[in-house]
Amino acid sequence: MDALQGAFDDLFVDVDAVLLFSPSAAFFERFADREVPTVVVARENEYDADLFVDLPLSFEDVKQRVQFGVQGAVANGHVEASETLLCATAAFGDDVDALFRVRANVSEDNGVYDLFANSRADAAVIRDVLEVVIELGKKGQKGEPVGALFVVGDAGKVMNKSRPLSYNPFEKSHVHVGDPIVNVMLKEFSRLDGAFVISDSGKIVSAYRYLEPSAEGVDIPKGLGTRHMAAGAITRDTNATSIVLSESDGLVRAFKGGELVLEVDPEAY
């Protein structure tokens, strides 16, 4: 038992900061009085922590969750690049049950945090769209797999680089993503071809858009088709973010700046 306690204590040796992911009140209090800086990474700052990183998604993939928290902590100036961090998060259940020592390496890809924090569209809008796509990936259309493409932000340029495939059911509407009724409409219209175009503030500008950006120089993973190519290309030519549901493998992917920055399995949420 002493050896186990010693191994646990070693985790804290030369740690520059602690990152607590969605901690309980009791767990947060255990770290609040420590000399080492403590950063809370969660959906809400319910404990009024001085150092806080907003976690827009639960990120069931623990690696993605930790990467997001570390990237956010560095971007917000809570920790310095190359510092050693101790991350406490849930890996097997709902409560914190795992500790990781990581280094805040700013040379790593920070696309996951950048997707939410530095996109032109509001972070809440990107989160709402992502949740719609994840839900669609879980249930599909009448139990059948479906593909979908949402382009979020910089709607004016996106409209100029696309053309209609059919009538636009949202042309004279003022509905926004995130409204439960609207989300049902989006899921229904997703069974038809074309992309949805969403404004920075979440207004649904159009459906059934055929994207026409140049695919030259866009590098997407092998096995992904034209929908993903168009999604990547439109984000290179505009300041938009694309979120794609793949009909073939059921995964949800996000593109920004012409690059793939996020990949999640809807069934994990």
Domain of 16, CATH number, reads 3.40.1380.20
Rounded mean pLDDT, 242-254:
91
> Residue 190 has what pLDDT?
77
How many domains does the chain contain in total? 2
For residues 238 and 128, membership in a common domain is answered with yes
Q: Using the predicted structure, report yes or no on whether residue 13 has a pLDDT greater than 90.
A: no
Note down the domain range covering 104. Answer: 2-110
For residues 95 and 127, membership in a common domain is answered with no
Q: How confident is the model at residue 209 (pLDDT cuts 50, 70, 90)?
A: very high
Q: Using the predicted structure, report yes or no on whether residue 21 has a pLDDT greater than 70.
A: yes
Q: Using the predicted structure, report yes or no on whether residue 34 has a pLDDT greater than 80.
A: no
> Residue 178 has what pLDDT?
85
101-104 long-range Cβ contacts below 8 angstroms, 24+ apart: 101/11, 101/15, 102/66, 102/70, 104/70, 104/73, 104/74, 104/79, 104/80
For residues 133 and 227, membership in a common domain is answered with yes
For residues 162 and 206, membership in a common domain is answered with yes
Rounded mean pLDDT, 89-105:
86
Q: Using the predicted structure, report yes or no on whether residue 2 has a pLDDT greater than 60.
A: no
70 neighbors 102 (Cβ within 8 angstroms): yes
**238 versus 115: which is more confidently predicted?**
238
**5 versus 44: which is more confidently predicted?**
44
Handedness of CA 197, 183, 268, 194 (dihedral sign): negative
